[in-house]
Structure 1
Amino acid sequence: MNKTNINYRNNLLLFFIAFFLFTLSSPPLFLDPDVAWHIAAGDYITKSKSIPFYDPWSYVGLEQQWYNISWLWDILCSFLNQLVGFHGLSIVLTVFLSLICTYCYQSLVSRKYPISHDAIMISLALTSLLFIEIGCLRPQLISCIMITFFMNKLYNFYYLNDEKALNKLPFATLIWTNSHGGFLILYALLGVFMAIAVYEKNKVAIKKIIKISITCSLTTLINPTSYKIYIGSLRTLNSVVIDYINEWRPFFFGQSYSFSMLFLVLIMAGCAFHTHYTELRIKNSDWLIGLAFLIASLLSVRNFSNLAISGMPFIAGIVDRSLPTSKFTVKLKNAHKTLISILLIIVSVSIHAFLVITKDDKKIGLNRVPVELIQYTANNYPGSKIINNYNLGGYIILFGNGKIKHFIDGRAGTAFNERILNEFIDIINRKISVLETAVKHNVDGVIIHKMVFKQESEIQKKNWNIVYNSKKYYLLIKNK
């Protein structure tokens, strides 16, 4: 049988296996509050037919330009939400994660490294495990796809002499730049191949990489904010709030089972490699990129998704040298692959259909969000200014339908200046209480966690009425 058909069947089977596993285990749609504001931003852009340069929702949003780097992703989320709803979006998330895993697998297999299939599947399993824990419908998914795409095309150019591969990078850059601030990673990927070309004195490759680097750099300027997109991206990376957001913190063992397991496997395999072998069976580019993202992941756990994607060849190469040779291999016939694929898709679709019919919230995750409280506030106190928890901001934007003017949300440095972010940090550090901040801002109400409310002074509490009591939060309205 044609080898292309075999690869196609393998990829299809892998996709359906991943789809089935993510159907059972992927995180709920609203695990991360940023998903909510991405949908709302897409709604706003679609209705107004323009991209806002200042925040239309927060009462402090006019103090800094809003660098909405992800506007293209936001429109996509809004369109899909209007088309298929929240349950449909949860299925879209499952499809996205499955496609990413399948694409990473195919990209690695296409390199034809002399490493065992067992090592490839172990690295893929570690990647899948990570996405089960942190895979959210956020524009980081675009970066995951683009990282794999860039690595694949640069590999084909440098090692397989496929000069046409570079022609696809500018268009990919255009999509990446208008979808996620992670587009800055393209400079790291180009830099690695440039360094290798310089080291190997490959003058032809040096010229072509310089040319495509300039082209991609100019392409990044094709966006609503032009050169300011770099300011917006850097605002994400260097604002004062970074140290207080979990996903930006340095790695420590045990904070996440998927991060810790990936790191542990690398340590064990690395020790075995160091003891018994002298070289990896992968190209220098994959070794350098994997090592770079491993270091970046230790500095900030947000980079673990990039490590899992870009570092798959690196992980597979190290694991391969520490695995014994497989004595018994399992080979499925094409008929078996087809049958398994059909069964997996039937079961997966049935599970999603059951969740939709029974209106089960498991894959959506709104049971942990005070949606009714937010809607009550919007309906009964429209136009009111509200002090809120950082993680509730995105939900207030989406479920408040723009009727509430909130304080802060997950856009952090891309939408809020340092003064506002420092006030938020002061609240976290208890330098100033939530209710004191509310008085300072002269707001109409406060959405406050019950545990935080208990810590507020009795004198401050007297100025507020509890008008709504949800499972975890109070809505306080100022006494007149």
Structure 2
Amino acid sequence: MKTNTTWGGATGTDSVLQQCARQRWFWPALYGISVFSILSFAGARLLVDADTLWHIAAGKWILANRAVPATDPFSFSFHGAKWVPHEWLAEVILAASHAWLGWAGPVLVTALATALALTVQLRFLLRYIEPLHAFSATLLTFLTLAQHLVARPHAMAWPLMVIWTAQLVLAREQNRRPSLWLLVVMLAWANLHGSFLLGIGLAAALAIEAILTEKLPLRSAREWAPFLALTVVAGLLTPHGVDGLLFPFHVSGMSYTLSVIGEWKPPDFRLVQPVELWLGIVLFGALYFGFRLPAMRIVMCFGLVHLTLTAARYAELLGLLAPLLLMPSVGPQLRAAIRPEIKLQLSPPLLRTLTALCVALFMTSIVLLAKGIQHDHRRIQPREAINAAMAAGGGGPVFNSYNFGGYLIFSGIAPLIDGRADLYGDDFVRRYMKAHSGDAKALQDMFEEYRIRWAVLEPGSPALKWIDGLPGWRKVHEDDVAVAYVLGR
């Protein structure tokens, strides 16, 4: 008769769990499952951004036409103008997931990408610090992601960003050239999101570090130079070529647009910001423990901090990448500074309970996603207002609120403007914002030039007062989401 082997009074199952807990993959796996499950439960919270709607519509267009558009197929104001859909692959994934699972599809993709990014980060950190400290670091990372955690292409780039940076850092730690398989990561990243340019910059910075600090700088240069060249080539292998590589520079040059779009504004420190907490804890640790860091890593982190203070959306870069860049130096110093070391040691029953709970959460989240998720964020879906306008004879060119553009495209209606600010450019965005703010001349010029026939605007839009006074225009719908006007009859 077989009996369970024991270890320290525990059953064979407990022994297996305790052995697993000593491995660097066990805690990241549980953590990743937990993050995925929590985000799946959050579900509709990931769908609050209006841009998700036009991203899905763009992906559907690509799948239907089996081509990536080079000109705008959606708006009437810029129809046929040059457009660089640099996130085309992510849009295809979003569209395919939506077609397969409804709104649960984009939620599934976003939750999976976020969980994978944090799992890879935690596994990397466990090389250098104890699980409790590593968990704390990834928790801070999650806080920096939270404000920009929506079903959009940038979230799908997070795991590639972490894998890329972690492998480059490991290559530096081992004094070797990065593996060529990373070029596949860069190729996918370049077709998912424009942040791939940051990956090229990180590779260049670490190559410079290798050349300046290694005993054989010429050998380091010979090892890194071909990799950097191939990295740039991989970044160019998109449907847009050089335009894709230059896209981030185009966006960063749109000074007015970046000043009026919320996610591109600097963090508002009048309110407590996750990045403020992140910076405070890191600064406290650096001053209290007196960490010494390589000069190039300090420069790179200063660059990430600068980006974060420039635009709130960049906080995710600081949270994801700074721990990877700093931990090879900080980890050993932290281990030496904390005595006795605080280790995550769980009793067998507690470890078994924790594992069962994570598995139960995961299975429940899968059932929840399979049942479907309702997209009930009316704020970005003026469905009733548009239906009323169509029933009242509305159609043709529309004057719409910026946040309604995504829903209009998703509904097959050409908007005046939407979230693709890079398409419209600074001049048009400035002109639109002036009209939307109620400037009579700007409104009149825009209505005449584009022959506006109906309007759907947020209730607080100053332009409503001007439209209300126009002869021949009548209000056909008003609620807490949108107000609709139609010209004629």
Aligned position for 1:179: 192
- How many Å apart are 1:443 and its aligned residue? 1.0
SS at match of 1:250: coil
Q: 1:120 to 1:4 in 2, by over 3 A?
A: closer
Deviations 1:33-52 (A, max 9, x none): 11111111000111111211
Aligned partner of 2:419 among 400, 404, 410: 410
CA deviation map 1:253-279 (0-9, x unaligned)? 244532232233234334434xxx252
Aligned-partner SS, 1:230: helix
Q: Give yes or no for contact 1:58–1:408 (8 Å, CA) kept in 2.
A: yes
Q: Quick one: structure 1 residues 454 and 325, their matched pair in 2 at CA, closer, same or farther if it must change by over 3 Å?
A: farther
Q: What are the equivalent positions in structure 2 for 1:223-302 lying under 5 Å apart?
A: 223-239=238-254, 240-255=256-271, 257-273=273-289, 277=290, 279-280=292-293, 286-302=297-313
In structure 1, the partner of 2:146 is: 132
Cα shift at 1:387: 1.1
Quote the Cα distance in structure 2 between the aligned partners of 1:262 and 1:189.
21
- Equivalent residue, structure 1, for 2:451: 442
- Give the AA of the match of 1:291: F
**Range 244-253 or range 227-236, more displaced:** 227-236
Q: Contact 2:475/2:486 (CA < 8 Å) preserved in 1?
A: yes
Structure-2 separation of matches of 1:170 and 1:82 = 30
Aligned-partner Cα distance in 2 for 1:312–1:379: 55
> Which amino acid is 2:416 matched to?
F
What secondary structure, in the 3-state scheme, does the structure 1 residue paired with 2:79 have?
helix
Greater mean deviation of Cα atoms: 172-181 or 336-345: 336-345
Local SS of the residue matching 1:465: strand
CA contact (8 A) 2:50 2:403 kept: yes
**Residue 479 of structure 2: aligned partner:** 470
The residue that corresponds to 1:373 in the other structure is 385
Alpha-carbon deviation of 1:55? 1.4
Residue pair 1:241, 1:412 contacting (<8 A) in 2 also: yes
Query: Displacement, 1:360?
Result: 6.6
Aligned equivalent of 1:344, options 333, 358, 362: 358
After superposition, the Cα gap between the structure-2 partners of 1:121 and 1:326, relative to the gap in structure 1 and judged at 3 Å, is: farther
CA RMSD of aligned residues (A): 3.2
Q: Does 1:120 align with 2:134?
A: yes
Which digits, 9 at most, give the CA deviation of each residue in 1:401-425, with x for residues without a partner? x2x2211111111x22443222123
The percent of aligned pairs where both chains have the same amino acid is 18
Contact 1:450 1:473 in 2 (8 A): yes
CA distance in 1, matches of 2:97, 2:104: 11
Equivalents in 2 of 1:210, 1:9: separation in Å? 37
Shift of 1:181: 0.8
The AA in structure 1 aligned to 2:305 is L
Alignment CA distance shift 1:50-1:351 (3 Å) = closer
For 1:86-165, list aligned pairs within 5 A. 86-109=103-126, 112-113=127-128, 115-163=129-177, 165=178
Structure 1 residue 445, shift from structure 2 partner: 0.8
Which deviates more from structure 2 when the two are superposed, residues 468-477 or residues 430-439?
A: 430-439
**Which of 430, 434, 440 is the equivalent residue of 1:426?**
434
Alpha-carbon distance in structure 2 between the residues aligned to 1:459 and 1:383? 18
Query: How far off its partner does 1:458 sit?
Result: 7.4
Residue-by-residue CA offset, 1:70-98 (whole Å, 9 max, x unaligned) = 11111111111111110243233222222
**Alignment partner, residue 384 of structure 1:** 396
CA contact (8 A) 1:37 1:397 kept: yes
The 3 A distance-change label for structure 1 pair 326 and 40 is farther
Amino acid at match of 1:272: Y
The CA distance in 2 between the partners of 1:356 and 1:468, in whole Å, is 36
Deviations 1:176-211 (A, max 9, x none): 111111111022201221221232252222222111
The TM-score, its normalising length taken from structure 1, stands at: 0.86
Which of 200, 208, 217 is the matching residue for 2:213? 200
Do 1:151 and 1:310's aligned partners in 2 also have CA atoms closer than 8 Å?
A: yes
Q: In the TM superposition, what are the counterparts of 1:13-92 in structure 2 within 5 Å?
A: 13-24=30-41, 28-62=45-79, 64-92=81-109
Q: In structure 2, what is the Cα distance between the partners aligned to 1:396 and 1:231? A: 29
Superposed displacement of residue 148, structure 1: 1.4
How many residue pairs get aligned? The number is 464
Which residue of the partner structure matches residue 314 of structure 2?
Answer: 303
Partner residue in 1 for 2:229: 214
- Residue 397 of structure 1 is matched in structure 2 by 409
- Do the aligned partners of 1:67 and 1:229 also contact (CA within 8 Å) in 2? yes
User: How far apart are residue 333 of structure 1 and its match?
Assistant: 5.6
1:294-333 superposed matches below 5 A = 294-313=305-324, 317=330, 320=334, 325=339, 329-332=343-346
Q: Separation in 2 of the partners of 1:53 and 1:256?
A: 42
Call closer, same or farther: CA 1:355–1:167 in 2, change over 3 Å.
closer
Structure 2 alignment gaps of length 5 or more: 1-15
Residue aligned with 2:460, SS: helix
Change (3 A) 1:234 1:460: farther
SS at match of 1:450: coil
Distance 1:216 1:365, change over 3 A: farther
Contact kept in structure 2, 1:272 and 1:322, CA below 8 Å: no
Q: 1:162 and 1:185 mapped to 2: Cα distance? A: 21
Bigger Cα Rg? 2
| Equivalent position SS for 1:223 | coil
Q: 1:52–1:378: structure 2 CA closer, same or farther, 3 Å change rule? A: farther
Letter in 2 for 1:37: W
Q: 2:13 matched to which residue of 1?
A: none
Checking the alignment, whether the CA contact within 8 Å between 1:13 and 1:337 is kept in structure 2 is no
Separation in structure 1 between the aligned mates of residue 184 and residue 377 of structure 2, nearest angstrom:
37
CA distance in 1, matches of 2:463, 2:195: 40
